């Protein structure tokens, strides 16, 4: 049995966020289209946040730290 690597998990979430961003829009219209777009937005948000997490595994406890503070402008 292989050991769990939290960094590999983080990479998978980054890949999922990228896949959602590249995903095409199926041929749907009306309210169904809006539901699809909203689901895609939430999928990207969730996967991107987890992909930005700092993961640690200590004594069998997985901790994900995500800094949600606004980043300063780099102007």
What is the tens place of the pLDDT at every residue in 22-70?
999 889 999 999 999 999 999 999 999 999 999 999 998 999 999 988 8
* Domain assignment present for 1: no
With cut-offs at 50, 70 and 90, classify the pLDDT of residue 75: low
What is the tens place of the pLDDT at every residue in 9-34?
999 999 999 999 999 988 999 999 99
55 burial level (CB within 10 Å; 0-12, 13-18, 19+): middle
C-alpha–C-alpha distance, residues 73 and 75, integer Å: 6
C-alpha–C-alpha distance, residues 54 and 68, integer Å: 12
* Structural domain of 51: 6-65
* Domain assignment present for 42: yes
Calculate helix-pair angle for 30-51, 6-22, nearest 10 degrees. 150
C-alpha–C-alpha distance, residues 59 and 67, integer Å: 23
pTM for the full model?
A: 0.78
* Domain assignment present for 75: no
Q: How many domains are there within the chain?
A: 1
């Amino acid at each position: 049995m292989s050991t769990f690597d939290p960094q590999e998990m983080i990479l998978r979430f980054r890949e999922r966020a990228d896949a959602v961003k590249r995903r095409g829009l199926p041929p749907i219209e009306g309210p169904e289209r809006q539901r699809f777009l909203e689901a895609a937005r939430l999928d990207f948000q969730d996967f991107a946040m987890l992909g930005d997490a700092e993961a640690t595994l200590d004594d069998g406890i997985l901790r994900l730290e995500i800094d949600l503070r606004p980043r300063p402008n780099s102007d």
